[in-house]
Amino acid sequence: MRQLALNTHISGRFNIELENLRNSVMAMGGEVEQQLVDTLKAIATNHPGLAEKVILNDLKVNSMESQIDEECLRIIAKRHPTASDLRLIMIISKAITDIERMGDEIERIAKLVTKQKLPADVAIKASMLSIGQQAAAMMRGTFDAFARLDEDAALEVYDQDNSIDSEYKRLLNYTAGEMAHSGEPMEDWLEILWALRSLERIGDRCKNICEYIVSITRGRDVRHMPLENLQQKLDDLSDS
Amino acid sequence: MLKLFEREQLNLAKLPAEQTAIEVRDLNLWFGDKHVLHNITMRIPRHRITALIGQSGCGKSTLISCFNRMNDLIDNSLTEGEIIIDGRNINHKKENLSTLRSNVGMVFQRPNPFPMSIYDNVCYGLRLQGIKQRRLLDDAVEQALIKAVLWDEVKDRLFETATTLSGGQQQRLVIARALALKPSILLLDEPTSALDPLTTLTIEELMADLKKHCTIVIVTHNMQQAARVSDYTAFLHQGELVEYSDSDTLFTLPHKKQTEDYITGRYG
């Protein structure tokens, strides 16, 4: 794997700009990660105040996305980056869209608490929290891998989504069964299903960012490839 | 809301005097019958890099040459309007041109070291000013070469002829020669067009350092260079100032269509 040295340009200001850009993505990621942690806590303790804070804080995440996007545009216009620098900036521009969407998914989950629509079924709530913890761990791993542009770590995190997906499917079947003989309004169940779906989508967004990390380090677009092929392809590249 | 990136956007139209290095008021210039600059009015901020861009013949080199009255050397040139530097209109007929040109240094497209040693090149202007004490000259030469990021490369061969230096070193030497006079303004007319891309980046990095010491005005054909190095950019077309703003805005969201067409290569 080729190491990306961001701070070796002749232009010291370009070094600083790239470093600031990367740090700002980390700051945005940290913000969204905290949003998910707070949301899970709000679900566990049935704390509408904390969930409300998460919903309001999403505006901050949105603003961060706009600012980082604008900075990417500014750097492209002023610095004319090439090769790995250009890939990094383009990928950051894509990654922040995924991070912002994660923020939106979290906001939707938090609304379950503010609307007092948390599942009454203890098993569903426990599984929801379990998926949430896995998504939070995956998010943490993704941002760590991004901070170091660590391809191996990215591949490891990528794999964790399988566990979230299977847990989600199991929970979906269970919830569908409960819905069938529950007297609660259908719209309440739909809210729960949407929240579960949102948790599952966070895992998918993390996967996207892991693919971006590999795109930066390898200079190859590895999206739309199953994990087995991805690993195999990377192994081939390493051998050659 | 949290601000992730700091941006300076001075209001150039209302720049206070203490932040203004050069104020141009209704400047018109003719070479014979040819009206070259039309009613230029602008304020150039202190300790910033301002780039002048535009097509060949748009008047950008003529404008920069007005700032130390180099156009006086051209026959049939006529200048009207005011250029205020340090509170004085430099277009006044009693302006001391020698003092002005010490304070407003200029570097040209092709490095033009004098055929003498590196040391003598740097202290040439100081000697013209009558400074003869060796210690003062030594200090000035060292300081100027350090500021021009050339000291480490030439400190062991100061008395070798300057023409043995590479193109990039020669250009930094010429910058050091201007810096030795401690100018408050440095004018750079296409300073890197004769240099290779990596040497160009070295000179650009030098400019970023030098703005701590002086105000820099650069003329460049290379729009990418203007975008990279400058804090503020002025776009000139046929002797008129079309747009003048911070470079971030000018290169991402220009207000005038003419500017947009020029910077995007749609110029007809």
Question: CA of B48, closest CA in chain A: separation in Å?
Answer: 14
The neighbour count for residue A46, using CB atoms within 10 Å, is 12
The pLDDT tens digits of the residues spanning A215-239 come to 888 887 877 777 666 677 677 766 6
| CA-based nearest distance B49→chain A, Å | 14
Span of A58-67, A221-230, B49-58, B108-117 with lowest mean pLDDT: A221-230
Domains of chain A plus CATH, in order, are 12-239 (1.20.58.220)
Task: Tell me the helix, strand and coil percentages in chain A, rounded to 5.
Answer: 85, 0, 15
Question: What's the pLDDT at B266?
Answer: 85
Are the Cβ atoms of B4 and A59 closer than 8 angstroms?
A: no
Buried b (16+ CB within 10 A) or exposed e, A67-105: bbeebbbbbbbbbebeebbebbbbbbbbbbebbbbbbeb
Residues of A in contact with B204 (CB under 8 A): 11
Could you tell me what percentage of chain B is helix, strand and coil, using 3-state DSSP and rounding each to the nearest 5? 40, 25, 35
Please give the ipTM for the structure prediction: 0.81
Secondary structure class of A169 (helix, strand, coil): helix
- Identify which of A93, A20, A21, A29 has the alpha carbon closest to the alpha carbon of residue A61: A29
Q: How far apart are CA A89 and CA A22, in angstroms?
A: 9
Chain A: give the shortest CA distance to residue B183, in Å: 24
In CATH, the architecture of B19-112+183-263 is 3-Layer(aba) Sandwich (3.40)
Say what the pLDDT of residue B267 is.
Answer: 66
**CB burial of residue A106 (10 Å; 0-12, 13-18, 19+):** buried
Interface of A to B at Cβ within 8 Å reads 9-13, 20, 24, 27, 59-60, 63-64, 67-68, 71, 73-74, 77-80
- For B123-151, how does the pLDDT look when each residue is reduced to its tens digit (9 = 90+)? 999 999 999 999 999 999 999 999 898 99
- Minimum mean pLDDT among A111-115, A139-143, A219-223, B179-183: which range? A219-223
Among A11, A20, A64, whose Cβ lies nearest the Cβ of B201? A11
- Rounded to a whole number of angstroms, the distance from the CA of A114 to the nearest CA of chain B is 24
Best B1, B3, B4, B228 member to test A by mutation, with max A CBs in 10 Å, is B4
User: To the nearest whole number, what is the mean pLDDT of chain A?
Assistant: 91
Looking at residue A77, its amino acid is A
Least trusted range by pLDDT, from A1-10, A33-42, A77-86, B220-229: A1-10
Convert the pLDDT of each residue in B51-73 to its tens digit. 999 999 999 999 999 999 999 98
Contacts of A67 in chain B (CB under 8 A): 3-5
Residue A71: list chain B partners with CB under 8 A: 4-5
Mean pLDDT of B91-114: 92
Task: Choose the weakest-confidence range: A226-230, B26-30, B182-186.
Answer: A226-230
Task: Enumerate the residues of chain B whose CB falls inside 8 A of the CB of residue A81.
Answer: none
- Pick the range with the lowest mean pLDDT from A83-87, A98-102, B240-244: A83-87
**pLDDT surpasses 80 at A53:** yes
